[in-house]
Amino acid sequence: MNWQVYMILCSDDSLYTGITTDVARRFAQHLSGRGARYFRGRSPCRLVYLEPGHDRRSASRREAQIKRLSPEDKRRLIAAPGNRLGDTPQGAGPA
């Protein structure tokens, strides 16, 4: 199965990092309040980073790695050429 690591820009300008096999479905869950508890008190604004091509294990490791980055390093990652937002489904709000 093709797992993806993603980052969402939130209403408070923070970045949420997660993994999924279906980015559009997961983003919709976050929007509807059925996603992560992280979105209590803040809203997901748009998908800003997408890294496909993982299996479940490598996606989990990569998610943990990204979560340990500083906010500045996360923003550099978002700006990097490897960011696959061109593959983002409609409605997920790519940057």
Task: Output the pLDDT for position 74.
Answer: 95
Backbone angles phi, psi at 93, to 5 degrees: 70, 55
Q: Report all structural domains of the chain as residue ranges with CATH numbers, in order of start.
A: 3-87 (3.40.1440.10)
10-residue stretch averages of pLDDT, the chain, 95 residues long: 94 96 95 89 94 95 97 94 64 42
The full length of the chain comes to: 95
User: Which pLDDT score is estimated for 86?
Assistant: 52
pLDDT score recorded for residue 49: 96
Give the pLDDT of residue 66.
97
Strand residue runs (E) in 21-74? 44-54
The pLDDT score that the predictor gives to residue 93 is 46
